[in-house]
């Protein structure tokens, strides 16, 4: 089943609880929560206290995407704040520390994910295949919403779909960046099962139509 995960980065932060309820009613499966530290990416977004407030106002599955350096420093706090899945970038620390971070997330009883930036090869996922519950392929350079989708990432997606199928564990394959009703079909065809969309959902006049379109239901 295809999941659509609206990214709160494009929501109106002054009325976050209304925005969350609105996309839930519009059919969101998950909520995607982007964390930026101004170091790993050239932007700063929201952090742990806001996540705790979001947790209080919704039962939706919270997919926290940590675009931060050395995420091991904070993964436990994101779990405690209410993330259901905590996702770390493979480029953000040594392989050993990323593995340790994933283990800490599992020890908290949460799901863990790894994320690959556009220039990172699909092979970078291999060391984490026995731990990760999700692999996220960035289809823009992380840091900002509203950028153009990078179709050249589809080969990576196909390779990772093969790797996941060979592995046999249940691992979701997610895409993030520039996803809308026009770009979603190629992602799904390449093997993605979880589609993050920020501007395409939150800036749409009709959010239900936008989510249905991304899911391929229009």
Which C-beta is closer to ligand DX5: that of 177 or that of 191?
177
CA 201, CA 129: separation in Å to the nearest integer? 31
**Stretch 26-55 residues interacting with Zn ion (CB under 5 A):** 34
Q: By C-beta, is 22 or 34 nearer to Zn ion? A: 34
Residues in touch with ligand DX5 (CB under 6 A) = 7, 9-10, 32, 34, 65, 140, 142-147, 176-179, 196-200
The CA distance from 30 to 6, in Å, is: 7
Interface pick for Zn ion out of 8, 31, 65, 114 (rule CB under 5 A): 65
Sheet of 85-89, strands arranged across: 3-6, 194-197, 172-176, 134-138, 111-116, 85-89, 61-67, 30-36
Select 39 or 168, whichever has its Cβ closest to Zn ion: 39
**Residues assigned a catalytic role:** 34, 176
In this chain, which stretch among 45-53, 92-100, 174-182, 207-215 interacts with Zn ion, using CB under 5 A?
A: 174-182
Residues near Zn ion (CB under 5 A) are: 34, 65, 176
């Amino acid at each position: 089943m295809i999941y659509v995960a609206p990214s709160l980065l494009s929501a109106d932060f002054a009325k976050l609880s209304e925005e969350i309820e609105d996309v839930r009613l519009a059919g969101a499966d998950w909520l995607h929560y982007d964390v930026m530290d101004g170091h790993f990416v050239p932007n700063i977004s929201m952090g742990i206290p806001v996540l705790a407030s979001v947790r209080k106002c919704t039962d939706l599955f919270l997919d926290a995407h940590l675009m931060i350096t050395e995420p091991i420093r904070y993964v436990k706090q994101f779990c405690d704040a209410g993330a259901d899945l905590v996702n770390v970038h493979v480029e953000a620390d040594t392989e050993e520390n990323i593995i340790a971070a994933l283990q800490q997330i599992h020890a908290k009883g949460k799901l863990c994910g790894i994320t690959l930036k556009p220039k990172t090869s699909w092979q970078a996922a291999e060391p984490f295949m026995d731990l990760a519950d999700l692999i996220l392929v960035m289809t823009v350079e992380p840091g900002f919403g509203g950028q153009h989708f990078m179709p050249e990432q589809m080969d990576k997606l196909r390779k990772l779909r093969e790797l996941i199928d060979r592995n046999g564990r249940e691992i979701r394959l997610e895409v993030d960046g520039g996803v809308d009703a026009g770009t979603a079909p190629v992602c799904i065809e390449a093997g993605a099962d979880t589609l993050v969309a920020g501007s395409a959902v939150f800036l749409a006049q009709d959010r239900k139509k936008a989510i249905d379109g991304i899911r391929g239901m229009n």
